[in-house]
Amino acid sequence: MPTMLPRISTVVERSIYEAVAMLAKKDGVSLSQKARDLLLEALELIEDAGLEAIVERRRKNLGKSIPLAEVKRRFRIK
């Protein structure tokens, strides 16, 4: 069945191809599906690293914290 999803075509070393093919066979999915899953996982790891950097910057913030009651008052939250 044809798909309207965009495609990515890439050239990889034989060792990478064989590793992805082995994982696809082990999981019972197509080579394309396994490559997609691995790309998604890599993107999630990159996103996590970016969020971790934000957390570390906030941990180093030595400014005074605002109590929850003050936040609610400022934003008029009940």
Mean pLDDT of the 46-62 span: 90
What confidence score (pLDDT) does residue 3 get? 78
Q: What does the pLDDT average to over 24-37?
A: 97
Mean pLDDT of 23-43: 97
d(CA 25, CA 16): 14
For the residues 14-28, what does the mean pLDDT come to?
Answer: 98
Q: Residue 1: pLDDT above 70?
A: no
Residue 78 has pLDDT above 90, yes or no: no
For 42-63, give the DSSP string. HHHHHHHHHHHHHHHHHHH--S
Nearest to 48 by CA among 59, 56, 58: 56
pTM above 0.85, yes or no: no
**Residue linked to tokens 């999915």:** 29
